[in-house]
Amino acid sequence: MTVPRGQGDRRGAPAGWSAPERALEAGIDFDRANAARIYDYLLGGACNFAVDREQAAKILTQNPDMAYVCRANRDFLRRAVAWCLDRGIHQFLDLGSGVPTVGNVHEIALAHRPDARVAYVDFEPVAVAHAHEVVDGLETVSVTRADMRDPDAVLGAPGVRDLLDPALPTALLTVAVLHFVPDPMLPAILARYRAALAPGSAHVMTHGSADHDDAELAARTRAIQDGYRGSATEVVLRSRPEIHELLGGNALAEPGMVDIVDWPAPDPEARPTGGYAAIALLP
């Protein structure tokens, strides 16, 4: 399979990078593909390197539906943000936010509410650098480079602490990220984030899984997992009970935990992705 080249190459930053982006380049792992940059490539972006495109080609060989799955995740994110806004949640903490693309969280939120606040958090230098460039000049949007596995560091970072009002409901967004976190303490980590949120907040999640009644769908999802092997961000496929545990036993907004394309309503025209979507309601 031939993979088209993006704007960057393996040894240099993508064309057009600003000075802060070049400064961050020192922290980029050029030797192993990264989920944020693979995701960017599969969505048609240019903030990726040859190693990411090579890994993407491997993933697409394993499961040609992978680009479709990425788009479905992005479409769900837009629907979920709009759902939160309609219910009076105007603050967003986006963990593992990745490379901002068209229709990202702050674009949707600010279109509905000019005073909405969005705190992006990611650890991948390319994603963070590009996000800084995209949101430059927006007073109600911040970008923080931090490891989401350290909630105290994230919640105490100026971009989060000084932007989000702890007295107001917040949407915790963990979309297409948790299956890249193998940490056995992940349920406790997410509980720490939820404990810091005001009543009326929500936890928005998507997560890949091979726990399906459809054996073919389960096999396609396992193929995606195989495609990420050898990258810096390998995939952990959790079962439905394990994914429920990540939501802390909180009540789920209707229709509960369903395939990404079927939230908030079944789409008979869309083929399933193998990933689950849910929004937990915090009391």
For residue 20, being part of any structural domain is answered with no
- Residues 108-120 pLDDT 10s: 999 999 999 999 9
For residue 190, being part of any structural domain is answered with yes
- Residues 16-73 pLDDT 10s: 444 344 434 445 677 788 787 887 888 888 888 888 899 888 888 888 888 999 899 9
For residue 84, being part of any structural domain is answered with yes
SS (H, E, C) 40-77: HHHCCCCCCCHHHHHHHHHHHHHCCCHHHHHHHHHHHH
- Residues 173-211 pLDDT 10s: 999 999 989 999 999 999 999 999 999 999 999 999 999
For residue 7, being part of any structural domain is answered with no
Q: Domain of residue 78: give its range.
A: 68-214+235-281
For residue 4, being part of any structural domain is answered with no
Number of domains comprising the chain: 1
For residue 229, being part of any structural domain is answered with no
Question: Which residue type is seen at 27?
Answer: G
CB 67 within 8 A of CB 26: no
For residue 30, being part of any structural domain is answered with no
Q: Following CA atoms 143, 149, 153, 158 in sequence, which dihedral angle do they give, to the nearest 10 degrees?
A: 10
**CATH code of the domain covering residue 158:** 3.40.50.150
Could you tell me the pTM of the whole model? 0.86
For residue 159, being part of any structural domain is answered with yes
